[in-house]
Chain A
Amino acid sequence: NAGVTQTPKFQVLKTGQSMTLQCAQDMNHNSMYWYRQDPGMGLRLIYYSASEGTTDKGEVPNGYNVSRLNKREFSLRLESAAPSQTSVYFCASSERGNSYEQYFGPGTRLTVT
């Protein structure tokens, strides 16, 4: 099992450009999440998808959109990138129920100039 995979690993964008970060998991998990990690701020939840067909805003959703394409895939889109979106983005997944552990992808390092 590959676990949680993310593409790309690195990306540089100019202000105003758009892009989509891809995430896929092969653990048959119901829930998926997008976080951003900034120094001194830990991980902040951008959007989550409790199950296929549903998405909800997290703590910092402004400037982002998501799509839960199917049970495996959850993408994050930046429509018009801003320098404030320079960050490391992590996708995670978890199963519903008592385990509660989240499994993380390797991250995407995004720089917006």
Chain B
Amino acid sequence: AQSVAQPEDQVNVAEGNPLTVKCTYSVSGNPYLFWYVQYPNRGLQFLLKYITGDNLVKGSYGFEAEFNKSQTSFHLKKPSALVSDSALYFCAVRFLFSGGYNKLIFGAGTRLAVHP
């Protein structure tokens, strides 16, 4: 069965330092992986996705994610964190069902706190 795990409830990082938010997955077949961000009192916003190709995927707001097939991981990264990056981050994996339609299975979320 498809599943996603985010092992850290919260990640704390100082502004200007690099950040990593971890995600591991379990899927049958090729994984289609996503990162979403949720700011307070808002809906989720798409950040980036891995479908195929280069293992390093670049997304919005300077974020990137590295797909590692052998470790079944898709960690979110940013070279230099900003206080405004503080938010709740969700990793998700696509489940494809017949007819080409899909649904997403989400991890529990990781709260990122960037301190000045």
Q: Which residues of A contact B (CB under 8 A)?
A: 4, 30-31, 33, 35, 40-45, 48, 50-51, 58, 90, 92, 94, 96-98, 100-107
Q: Mark B15-51, 1 if CB is under 8 A from A, else 0.
A: 0000000000000000010101000011111100101
- What CA separation (Å) do A58 and B102 show in the bound complex? 12
Instruction: Please tell me if the beta carbons of B43 and A50 are within 8 angstroms of each other in the complex.
Output: no
Report the Cα distance A50→B102, complex, angstroms.
8
B9's closest neighbor in chain A, by CB? Answer: A40
- List the interface of chain B (C-beta within 8 A of A): 9, 32, 34, 36, 41-46, 49, 51, 90, 94, 97, 99-109
A58 — nearest CB in chain B belongs to which residue?
B103
Chief secondary structure at chain A's binding surface: loop
A50 partner, pick from B46, B101, B104, beta carbons under 8 A = B101
Contacts of B106 in A (CB 8 A): 35, 42-44
Check B46 against A101 for contact (C-beta < 8 Å): yes
Taking a contact as CB atoms under 8 Å apart, the answer to whether A107 and B43 are in contact is yes
Query: A107: nearest residue on chain B (CB-CB)?
Result: B43
Q: Collect the chain B residues with CB atoms within 8 Å of residue A100's CB.
A: 32, 34, 49, 51, 94, 102, 104
